[in-house]
């Protein structure tokens, strides 16, 4: 049942944030098709080390599709060809013997390359810092069942909260927009009763922080298509609604700009 | 000598409240005068950062990840326990306390466990207030499920992503404090050593993983929330970067290491498929609520699972343990899987797994109901194995998952180094010799939200008016020099084998001899083999590149070097503990039926090991355990 594959990898190599990058070609021979894509890179790296050549730096950690660390463009697609799948969960059985595979880091100005396939995604943390939370200091909470939440509402919040913060949405977007990431967090919190007090403040602060780093959304929909958690583009509509409303609701700010 | 464990006097149910009243407080206006370093931003670390920041302390947080949200707590699937009794099935703080002490096979501290059960209820309230989207019933109230080994439904969950949602909750609270300026966040920064002065923890030395810069950071206290050391096995369910370095370097600086051999082998993981395998993937044990575990009775069975008639299937857990069946605790489930596979009943191409079969559950409840419960897990299984678990049974096998051992801490969570705290999986205190399912998330958050923020004040209060030791102090400079020369040493060896290679070989030794079953001969052999391989590591390691750039081989080399030393201590601890308890099964200590045999007269204690230098084995110190409220009984799940 197990096949092995011989592949040709064309990989972006860049020695540091300020260095010029280049593509290099590596053979990947005898790769078992039960291996994951990252295990395939492990095998190539062990061979590179054996030859005394610097291994390829690539982002990865949990290898279960949940930590959001991994991410790379595979043949121009964020996280590769399998829908709803982070690259760590992509397996080589999805490829054919003899394939040539082009591997690049996330493409986005907001995500500068640190080395090879590793990029800096800290602007995503800045967006959360700007308001991606409910102000709920430890020890102040009421009993969890005091506020019933309709199952549909909780489920929809969970659909949005499933975002792993990998940045594929940004990398896949022709404008390098950060809307899907931002919308997922805004809708997660803004749809729940606990998030109401800060609802419009949150939308406004997060959007305006996002705009310092990322391009504008023009509804291409590439983000949802590339998302390993298949976060719906609908959340962007909710985000836009809350952002627009925030300009009226946050009255104390009106007229200040 | 082991310091006092500081367990308060009085009835177990009143100890925590009494202790909170008795310990010293830091006045709200003075908290800003204290600086606390928190290393690690998983559940235990992020929750501590958030809470300490809210209280007014100046916090510096360190993670080697690119974002705090990547910490491995994120991968926990099944749920979090809390004694809410929302299901009206007779749960209580006392029952959760009792179950946890018993489940830990009587090797944990009663007082700590009771406190954990007490604050469990606050965690659910706290997380809900933060917007954690726990699963709900149609009436809008929180849903619960029962979880491995529990006879009440006390587990709260958010689909199969409970760890992710709880971590995002804690991370978001932490980012709020970053925004407020109370928490200073250092990402891609790895702690490589602890700095002590006059015996007290005064700071850490770190390496910036992008620029390679070695830096010192000083504070009034240091908190290690750096997780467990399961990756010493190489193949485990841990994330690739999980490591022991922070706690191991601190052990070398005076922190005693408690019960290192207490490691948990999780019963439901996807079996390894080949040598290239880099990690094992856990399938939440909630699957055992509906899946039935079996193997073919005939060791030469060649038919597909579906073609094997009922009477030729060996439902070994249901047969041996009728009361608990497929829901026996993790250690029992794991060991029995090993037994049947060792007897030749294993399934799959390498005959290294057992079936976890949902056919009956699908017939009973319908495919839709099973999909609702486990959809994402089934998808993940199919993605990894290429098999559809709705039509063929899953194949599972145990894998290293969690480490109950860790740095010894007193009731305040302080290690044997004054000013150095360990929280979450990094300490040893609450799970004894075996952790119950859905209790790791509970402990990490209990420590970070509700325990450490109070107890740390007791240490800090008398230090009012003292500045942290400046990083120009020789104590810091000395450690910086050590770290620099160690980093340079890895690069200078110039051998032929990669850190990955050594890690894999080390893991094989540990799995073989310090895995699910241990015996004297094997453990002695393990010590010899580890020492020999460690010598090869230091003479034949190959790390390419340099120390001034992002260099993951270099990072890995340091982590593997520490795993070698830890692995040896695990073997010594397992050798010393000539009894079977929880996840530690000594073949010399079993009942005639092959069940684990505990020896309470000899081993009802915590083994806390003190570092004596690289060439001298550690010295063991004992903390005797008293069981006043949960009487000692031999566990039986029959």
CATH topology of domain A4-115: Ubiquitin-like (UB roll) (3.10.20)
Burial code (b: 16+ CB inside 10 Å, e: under 16) for A106-120 equals bbbebbebbbbbbbb
ipTM score assigned to the predicted complex: 0.97
Query: Of A4-18, B141-155, B433-447, which gets the smallest average pLDDT?
Result: B141-155
Mean pLDDT across chain B: 96
Q: What is the pLDDT of residues B106-131, one digit of tens each?
A: 999 999 999 999 999 999 999 999 99
Q: Which of B173, B175, B383 is facing A85, going by the closest CB pair?
A: B383
The SS3 call for residue B473 is coil
Q: What is the pLDDT, as a whole number, of residue B160?
A: 85
Burial code (b: 16+ CB inside 10 Å, e: under 16) for B514-541 equals bbbbbbeebbeebbebbeebbeebeeeb
DSSP structure class, residue A177: B
CB pairs under 8 A between A and B: 222
- In B, residues 542-561, which contact A (CB 8 Å cutoff)? 542, 544-545, 549-553
Q: Which of A38, A64, A188 is facing B131, going by the closest CB pair?
A: A188
- CB within 8 A of B195, min separation 6: which ones? B201, B202, B203, B204, B205, B216, B218, B469, B475, B476, B479
Q: Is B613 left (phi over 0), alpha (psi -120 to 50) or beta?
A: left
Q: Do B278 and A43 touch (CB under 8 A)?
A: no
Distance between CA atoms of residues A2 and B276, nearest Å: 13
CA nearest neighbour of A198 among A113, A104, A133: A133
Q: What average pLDDT does this structure show over A91-102? A: 97
Question: pLDDT band for position B331 (50/70/90)?
Answer: confident
Q: What is the pLDDT of residues B238-260, one digit of tens each?
A: 999 999 999 999 999 999 999 99
CA-nearest residue of chain A to B167? Answer: A67
Contacts of B273 in chain A (CB under 8 A): 34
Distance between CA atoms of residues B83 and A19, nearest Å: 56
Q: What is the pLDDT, as a whole number, of residue B312?
A: 97
Question: pLDDT band for position B374 (50/70/90)?
Answer: confident
CA atoms within 13 A on the CB side of B75: 25
Residue B77 scores a pLDDT above 80: yes
Start and end residues for every CATH 1.10.1060.10 domain found in chain A: 121-253
Q: Is A253 on the interface with B (CB under 8 A)?
A: no
Which are the catalytic amino acids of B? 330
Q: What average pLDDT does this structure show over B291-303? A: 96
Q: What is the pLDDT, as a whole number, of residue A211?
A: 98
Q: What is the pLDDT, as a whole number, of residue B328?
A: 86
CA distance A149 to chain B (A): 4
Q: Do B128 and A144 touch (CB under 8 A)?
A: yes
The secondary structure of B82-143, three-state, reads CCCCCCCCCCCHHHHHHHHHHHCCCCCCHHHHHHHHHHHHHHHHHHHHCCCCCCECCCCCEC
Start and end residues for every CATH 3.10.20.30 domain found in chain A: 4-115
Q: Which of A133, A138, A192 is facing B175, going by the closest CB pair?
A: A133
A242: its two tokens: 């809350």
Q: What is the pLDDT, as a whole number, of residue B316?
A: 97
Question: pLDDT band for position B274 (50/70/90)?
Answer: confident
Mean pLDDT across chain A: 95
Q: Is B540 left (phi over 0), alpha (psi -120 to 50) or beta?
A: alpha
Residue B147 scores a pLDDT above 90: no
Q: Is B135 on the interface with A (CB under 8 A)?
A: yes
Residue A255 scores a pLDDT above 60: no
- CB within 8 A of B183, min separation 6: which ones? B49, B50, B52, B53, B59, B60, B61, B174, B177
Q: Do A148 and B450 touch (CB under 8 A)?
A: no
Q: Is B376 on the interface with A (CB under 8 A)?
A: no
CA atoms within 13 A on the CB side of A133: 28
Q: What average pLDDT does this structure show over B206-212? A: 98
CA nearest neighbour of B442 among B177, B120, B203: B120
Q: What is the pLDDT of residues B414-464, one digit of tens each?
A: 999 999 999 999 999 999 999 998 999 999 999 999 999 999 999 999 999
CA nearest neighbour of A109 among A204, A32, A8, A216: A216
Q: For chain A, give the number of residues.
A: 257
Q: Do A135 and B72 touch (CB under 8 A)?
A: no
Q: How far apart are the first and last CA of chain A?
A: 65
Residue A257 scores a pLDDT above 50: no
Residue A254 scores a pLDDT above 70: no
Domains of chain B, CATH where assigned: 12-264+402-463 (3.50.50.60), 266-401 (3.90.700.10)
CB atoms within 10 A of CB A46: 17
Q: For chain B, give the number of residues.
A: 638
Q: What is the pLDDT, as a whole number, of residue B149?
A: 65
CA distance A145 to chain B (A): 6
Q: Which of B75, B240, B498 is facing A66, going by the closest CB pair?
A: B75
- In B, residues 211-240, which contact A (CB 8 Å cutoff)? 239-240
Contacts of B139 in chain A (CB under 8 A): 148
Task: Using the structure block, give the residue that is written with the tokens 């602007």.
Answer: A123
CA nearest neighbour of A54 among B554, B234, B190: B554
DSSP line for B294-351 = EEESSTT--S-GGGS-GGGEE-HHHHH-TTTGGGS-HHHHHHHHHHHHHTT--BTTTT
Q: What average pLDDT does this structure show over A33-48? A: 96
Contacts of B504 in chain A (CB under 8 A): none
Distance between CA atoms of residues B116 and B95, nearest Å: 12
Question: pLDDT band for position A23 (50/70/90)?
Answer: very high
Residue B610 scores a pLDDT above 80: yes
Q: What average pLDDT does this structure show over A131-137? A: 98
pTM recorded for the entire structure: 0.97
Per the CB < 8 A criterion, the answer to whether B226 and B43 are in contact is: no
Question: pLDDT band for position B373 (50/70/90)?
Answer: confident
Residue range A121-253, CATH number: 1.10.1060.10
């Amino acid at each position: 049942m197990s096949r092995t594959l011989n592949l040709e990898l064309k990989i972006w190599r860049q020695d540091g944030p300020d260095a010029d990058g280049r593509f290099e070609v590596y053979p990947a021979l005898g790769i078992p098709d039960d291996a994951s894509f990252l295990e395939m890179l492990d095998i190539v790296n062990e061979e590179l080390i054996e030859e005394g050549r610097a291994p390829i730096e690539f982002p990865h950690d949990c290898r279960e599709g949940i930590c959001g660390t991994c991410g790379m463009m595979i043949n121009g697609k964020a996280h590769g060809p399998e829908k709803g799948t982070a690259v760590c969960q992509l397996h080589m059985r999805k490829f054919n013997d003899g394939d040539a595979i082009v591997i690049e880091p996330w493409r986005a100005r907001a995500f500068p390359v640190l080395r090879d396939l590793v990029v800096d995604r800290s602007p995503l943390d800045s967006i959360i810092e700007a308001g991606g939370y409910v102000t709920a200091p430890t020890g102040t909470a009421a009993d969890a069942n005091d506020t019933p939440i309709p199952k549909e509402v909780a489920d929809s919040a969970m659909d949005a909260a499933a975002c792993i913060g990998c940045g594929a949405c940004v990398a896949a977007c022709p404008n390098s927009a950060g809307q899907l990431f931002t919308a997922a967090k805004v809708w997660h919190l803004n749809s729940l009763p606990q998030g109401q007090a800060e609802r419009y403040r949150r939308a406004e602060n997060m959007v305006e922080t996002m705009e310092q780093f990322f391009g504008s959304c023009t509804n291409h929909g590439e983000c949802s298509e590339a998302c390993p958690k298949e976060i719906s583009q609908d959340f962007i509509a909710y985000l836009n609604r809350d952002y627009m409303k925030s300009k009226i609701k946050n009255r104390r700010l009106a007229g200040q700009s | 000598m082991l310091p006092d464990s500081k367990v308060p006097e009085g009835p177990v149910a009143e100890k925590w409240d009494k202790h909170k009243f008795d310990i010293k407080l830091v006045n709200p206006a003075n908290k800003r005068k204290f600086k606390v370093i928190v290393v690690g931003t998983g559940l235990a670390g992020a929750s501590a950062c958030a809470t300490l920041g809210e209280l007014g302390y100046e916090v510096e947080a360190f993670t080697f990840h690119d974002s705090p949200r990547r910490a491995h707590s994120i991968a926990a699937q099944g749920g979090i326990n809390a004694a809410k009794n929302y299901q009206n099935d007779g749960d209580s703080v006392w029952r959760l306390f009792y179950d946890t002490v018993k489940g830990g096979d009587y090797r944990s501290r009663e007082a700590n466990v009771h406190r954990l059960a007490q604050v469990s209820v606050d965690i659910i309230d706290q997380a809900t207030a933060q917007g954690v989207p726990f699963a709900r019933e149609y009436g809008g109230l929180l849903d619960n499920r029962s979880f491995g080994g529990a006879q009440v439904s006390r587990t709260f969950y958010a689909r199969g992503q409970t760890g992710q949602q709880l971590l995002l909750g804690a991370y978001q609270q932490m980012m709020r404090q970053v925004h407020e300026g109370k928490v200073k966040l250092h990402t891609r920064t790895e702690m490589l050593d602890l700095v002590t002065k006059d015996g007290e923890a005064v700071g850490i030395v770190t390496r910036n993983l992008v620029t390679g810069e070695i830096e010192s950071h000083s504070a009034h206290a240091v908190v290690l929330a750096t997780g467990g050391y399961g990756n010493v096995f190489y193949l485990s369910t841990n994330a690739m970067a999980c490591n022991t370095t922070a706690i191991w370097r601190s052990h070398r600086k005076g922190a005693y290491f408690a019960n290192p051999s207490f490691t948990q082998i999780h019963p439901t993981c996807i079996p390894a498929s080949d040598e290239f395998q880099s990690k094992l993937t856990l399938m939440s044990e909630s699957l055992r609520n509906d899946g039935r575990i079996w193997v073919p009775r005939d060791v030469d069975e060649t038919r597909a699972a579906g073609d094997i008639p009922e009477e030729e299937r060996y439902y070994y857990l249901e047969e041996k343990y009728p009361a608990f069946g497929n829901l026996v605790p993790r250690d029992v489930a794991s060991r029995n899987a090993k037994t049947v596979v060792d007897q030749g009943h294993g399934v799959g191409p390498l005959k290294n797994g057992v079936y976890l079969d949902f056919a009956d559950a699908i017939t009973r409840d319908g495919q839709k109901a099973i999909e609702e419960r486990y959809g994402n897990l089934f998808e993940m299984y199919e993605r990894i194995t290429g098999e559809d678990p709705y039509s063929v049974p899953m194949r599972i096998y145990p894998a290293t998952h969690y480490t109950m051992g860790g740095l010894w801490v007193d009731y305040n969570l302080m290690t044997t180094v004054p000013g150095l705290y360990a929280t979450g999986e990094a300490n040893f205190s609450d799970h004894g010799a075996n952790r119950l399912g859905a209790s790791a998330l509970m402990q990490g958050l209990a420590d970070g939200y509700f325990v450490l923020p109070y107890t740390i004040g007791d240490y800090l209060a008398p230090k009012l008016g003292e500045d942290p030791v400046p990083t120009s102090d020789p104590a810091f400079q000395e450690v910086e020099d050590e770290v620099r020369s160690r980093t340079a040493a890895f690069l200078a060896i110039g051998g032929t084998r990669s850190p990955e290679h050594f890690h894999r070989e080390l893991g094989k030794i540990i799995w073989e001899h310090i895995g699910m079953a241990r015996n004297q001969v094997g453990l002695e052999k393990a010590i010899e083999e580890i020492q020999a391989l460690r010598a090869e590591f230091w003479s034949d390691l190959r790390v390419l590149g340099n120390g001034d750039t992002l260099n993951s081989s270099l990072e890995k080399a340091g982590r593997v070097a520490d795993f070698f030393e830890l692995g040896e201590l695990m073997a010594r601890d397992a050798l010393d503990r000539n009894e079977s308890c929880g996840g530690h099964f000594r073949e010399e200590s079993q009942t005639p039926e092959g069940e684990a045999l505990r020896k309470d007269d000899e081993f009802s204690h915590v083994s806390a090991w003190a570092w004596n230098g690289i060439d001298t084995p550690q010295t063991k110190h004992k903390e005797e355990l008293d069981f006043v409220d949960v009487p000692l009984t031999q566990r039986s799940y029959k």
